[in-house]
Structure 1
Amino acid sequence: MLKHNFFKLRKNNRFNYTPRFYQGKEIENDYSFDSKFSKYKQLHNKNDFRSAWAQDRIIMRRKNNRSFSPLLLVIILLLCFVFLFVLDFDLTIFSPVF
């Protein structure tokens, strides 16, 4: 049968090439006073920005970062009023008629 879906976009391939013998990982000091598991932790290559960025994004996703910023609210309101001013919107339609 026909398996092509003409409405679905193709996913782009991502290539994360690191040479086989590249010494990009940090080599830690054997005499450091970290825990014995610290040398087995996952380190990113210096040229592997994608996985480092993905891990930093996951770390930054915390519930305390989800609060709504009052500065953002002020900026949005200011932009709305500038937009209404450019359109020459008359705000007197909301006032009661005497």
Structure 2
Amino acid sequence: MKINVFKRRKNRRFNYTPRYYDGKDIGNPYDLDSKFAKYRETTNSGDLSSQWKEAREASRNRGNREVNTRLIIIIIILVLITLYIFDFDLSIFTTRR
């Protein structure tokens, strides 16, 4: 048996949908659209990878800049609280007179 130390195992992707599962959006059956249009953007609600991909694409806009700054401020506050708990000398952040 060959042992790979530095090679990472590749994850397998299974896009399995049970036969009698109503997870896909069918839409309006009386819609007079082309018969291929309903298969263009239908995603399986159980397929987490496509939902994750859509969420990542939706978050790549300039509207999340406030969230990013808020997250950075929260992380800085948590780091300072952690340093205070471990009795780190916080006087290096102040100016000397």
Same fold (TM over 0.5): yes
- Tell me the residue number matched to 2:56: 57
- Tell me the residue number matched to 2:89: 90
Larger CA Rg, structure 1 vs 2: 1
Q: Which runs of 5+ in 1 are unaligned?
A: none
Please tell me the root mean square deviation across aligned C-alpha atoms, in Å: 3.4
Change (3 A) 1:87 1:4: closer
TM-score by length of 2: 0.59
The structure with higher relative contact order (CA 8 Å, sep 6+) is 1
- Tell me the residue number matched to 1:48: 47
Give, as a single letter, the amino acid of the residue that structure 1 aligns with 2:96. P
For 1:1-98, list aligned pairs within 5 A: 5-19=4-18, 24-32=23-31, 38-66=37-65, 69-92=68-91, 95-96=95-96
SS in 2 for 1:18: coil
Change (3 A) 1:72 1:27: closer
Change (3 A) 1:95 1:85: same
Give, as a single letter, the amino acid of the residue that structure 2 aligns with 1:42. E
Offset, 1:20: 5.3
Q: Which runs of 5+ in 2 are unaligned?
A: none
- Contact 2:84–2:90 (CA under 8 A) maintained in structure 1: no
Distance in 2 of aligned mates of 1:46 and 1:68: 27
Change (3 A) 1:87 1:57: same
The total of aligned residue pairs comes to: 94
Change (3 A) 1:72 1:29: closer
TM-score by length of 1: 0.59
